[in-house]
């Protein structure tokens, strides 16, 4: 009896440990291969070893957006075919991506090539985590930094040196459900819409029985939703010199008051929104409008409901300021300064940044590209959605409104306050009457966070 029990326990434990082994093997296949290449190559003769390592071990690339993986894999496959350097792309979710990078940077074991984001690029550049690209760029025929959108290049420049090759840029637009608008007898959103029009339509599209809501936004929808409202109404999140919070600015408060109104009158319960993302709510036909970034397009293209019922419009503008603002951001391709194969890494960065591949990225519908004048290709990547509004935001004006591209607000280490904002604002989402006080309180806290940065 006892033996049987022990045997059962042993079996289960063994099965468990085998499963654990199995998963860790598959998960870290890339990193262990990379580890092997590191031990085989000498620290001092890293570049001379490159030739030996080439072709045998894949370069380890880590990104956070699974929607982009297929397209980027294709670009990488072409790279492998041309150079013989294998590339292994691994996708992490946003949170664990930064935990991984941070831990990797502290412990000295990073992926070879990865994405950099304006949120904490400053911190990575200052601490010498990223490979300095100046010399490579000087000797390259493919890469000329002036070919990329200057805003994006600026994000990854520190002390006059370049640390990443601009990959893409993104803007925000309004997604709407045509079927719901038709059913309510409302005309589709267009360039004449102000924020008041959006509010009125959203309220009309909200059904009392909870089966349909006009709009959807969670405190985590900062860059894609409420930041745009704030800047459009003349407020700001971070001052231009990146030292002060704008959450207590009167115009910001005005915008946040509008946010509160919208949440209260036309959005699902804040609790529901905190459990289910706006994209899922839209895809499942629960909401009539959301604001989303251009990076979501490739994901939406895989959803049949979206393809059948939804389309894209330009963001509304503010009547008082006459301004339409879209937050804009761009990622950069960066390499680890401690990589054992800097030359191979550079070849890959150069490949990603070359005009052909930037065009390819746009054509495949991965994202808009940071290389100037390549984004028309992206608009044409599908005829299901009209993607032109994403591009219109980058022009000087549309209709009566002045268009303004605003770089996603950032400081030295934005993760701290942008994360805290989400948690703090959740209370104001639940009870919009405390919105003003919450924002004012948070401004104090955020100023403290910024003051503590970079000490």
Partner 1 sequence: MTSWEKKQFFWGWLFILPTMLGLIILNIVPMFQTLYQSFFRTGDFGKGNVFIGLENYEKLIHDPEVWQSLFNTFKYAIVEVPLSIIIALVLAVFLNRKMRGRSIYRTIYFLPMVVAPAAVAMVWRWLYNSQFGLLNHMMHVKIEWISNPHIAWISIAIIGVWSAIGYNMVLFLAGLQEIPRDYYEAADIDGASGPRMFFNITIPLLSPTIFFVMVTSIIGAFQVFDLIYMVMDETNTALPKTQTIVYLFYRYSFAYNNKGYGSAIVMLLLCVIILITVFQMIGQKKWVHYN
- Binding residues for partner 1, rule: CB under 8 A, are 1-2, 4-6, 8-9, 12, 15-16, 19-20, 23, 95, 99, 102-103, 105-106, 123, 126-127, 129, 218-220, 268-276, 281, 284, 286, 413, 415-416, 419-420, 422-423, 425-427, 429-430, 455
CB of 268 vs partner 1, minimal distance in Å = 8
CB of 123 vs partner 1, minimal distance in Å = 5
DSSP 245: B
| CB nearer partner 1, residue 58 or residue 270 | 270
CB of 422 vs partner 1, minimal distance in Å = 5
**Alpha carbon distance 70, 82 (integer Å):** 19
Helix axes 435-452, 414-430, angle to 10 degrees: 170
CB of 9 vs partner 1, minimal distance in Å = 6
CB of 265 vs partner 1, minimal distance in Å = 18
Please measure the distance between the N-terminal and C-terminal CA atoms of the chain and give it in whole angstroms.
64
Query: How large is the greatest C-alpha to C-alpha distance in the chain, in angstroms?
Result: 84
| CB nearer partner 1, residue 166 or residue 268 | 268
Q: Which of 244, 220, 240 is nearest to 446 (CA)?
A: 244
| CB nearer partner 1, residue 42 or residue 95 | 95
**Alpha carbon distance 178, 309 (integer Å):** 6
CB of 5 vs partner 1, minimal distance in Å = 6
Q: Which of 186, 209, 166 is nearest to 358 (CA)?
A: 166
**Alpha carbon distance 434, 428 (integer Å):** 6
Which SS3 state, helix, strand or coil, does residue 211 take?
coil
| CB nearer partner 1, residue 2 or residue 138 | 2
- Between the alpha carbon of residue 194 and those of residues 315, 318, 407, the distances in Å are 9, 5, 22
| CB nearer partner 1, residue 377 or residue 413 | 413
| CB nearer partner 1, residue 16 or residue 84 | 16
| CB nearer partner 1, residue 436 or residue 453 | 453
CB of 125 vs partner 1, minimal distance in Å = 11
**Alpha carbon distance 177, 213 (integer Å):** 11
**Alpha carbon distance 337, 210 (integer Å):** 53
| CB nearer partner 1, residue 83 or residue 161 | 161
Q: In what order do the strands lie in the sheet with 397-398?
A: 323-328, 401-407, 397-398
Containing 61, the helix (H) or strand (E) segment is strand 59-63
The CA-CA-CA angle for residues 325, 329, 332, to 5°, reads: 165
CB of 230 vs partner 1, minimal distance in Å = 18
CA atoms within 13 A on the CB side of 240: 0
| CB nearer partner 1, residue 243 or residue 284 | 284
CB of 115 vs partner 1, minimal distance in Å = 18
């Amino acid at each position: 009896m006892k033996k049987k029990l022990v045997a059962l326990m042993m079996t289960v434990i063994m099965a468990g440990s085998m499963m654990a082994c199995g998963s860790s093997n598959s998960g870290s296949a890339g990193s262990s291969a990379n580890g092997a290449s590191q031990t085989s190559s000498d620290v001092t003769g890293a570049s001379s070893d490159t030739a030996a390592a080439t072709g045998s071990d894949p370069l380890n690339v880590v990104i956070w957006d699974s929607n982009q993986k297929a397209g980027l894999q294709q670009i990488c496959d072409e790279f492998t075919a041309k150079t013989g350097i294998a590339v292994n792309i691994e996708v992490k979710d946003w949170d664990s991506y930064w935990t991984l990078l941070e831990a990797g940077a502290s412990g000295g074991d990073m992926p070879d090539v990865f994405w950099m984001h304006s949120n904490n690029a400053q911190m990575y550049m200052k601490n010498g985590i990223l490979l300095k690209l100046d010399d490579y760029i000087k000797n390259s025929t493919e890469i000329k930094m002036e070919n990329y959108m200057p805003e994006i290049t600026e994000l990854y420049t520190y002390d006059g040196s370049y640390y990443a090759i601009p990959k893409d840029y993104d803007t925000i637009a309004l997604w709407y459900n045509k079927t719901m608008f038709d059913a309510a007898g409302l005309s589709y959103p267009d360039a004449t819409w102000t924020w008041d029009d959006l509010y009125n339509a959203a309220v009309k599209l909200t059904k009392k029985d909870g089966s349909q809501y006009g709009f959807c936004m969670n405190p985590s929808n900062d860059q894609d939703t409420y930041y745009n409202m704030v800047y459009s109404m003349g407020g700001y999140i971070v001052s231009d010199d990146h030292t002060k919070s704008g959450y207590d600015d009167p115009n910001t408060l005005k915008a946040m008051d509008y946010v509160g109104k919208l949440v209260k009158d036309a959005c699902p319960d804040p609790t529901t929104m905190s459990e289910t993302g706006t994209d899922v709510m839209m895809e499942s036909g629960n909401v009539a409008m959301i604001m989303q970034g251009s990076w979501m397009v490739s994901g939406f293209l895989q959803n049949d409901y979206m393809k059948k019922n939804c389309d894209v419009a330009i963001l509304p503008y503010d009547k008082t300021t006459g301004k339409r603002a879209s937050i804009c951001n761009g990622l950069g391709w960066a390499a680890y300064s401690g990589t054992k194969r800097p030359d191979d890494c550079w070849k890959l960065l150069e490949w990603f940044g070359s005009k052909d591949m930037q065009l390819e990225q746009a054509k495949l519908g991965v994202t808009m590209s940071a290389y100037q004048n390549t984004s028309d290709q992206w608009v044409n990547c599908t005829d299901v959605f009209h993607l032109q509004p994403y591009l219109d935001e980058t022009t000087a004006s549309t209709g009566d409104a002045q268009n303004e591209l605003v770089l996603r607000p950032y400081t030295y280490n934005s993760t701290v306050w942008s994360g805290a904002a989400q948690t703090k604002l959740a209370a104001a989402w639940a009870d919009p009457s405390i919105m003003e006080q919450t924002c004012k309180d948070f401004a104090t806290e955020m100023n403290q966070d910024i003051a503590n940065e970079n000490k």
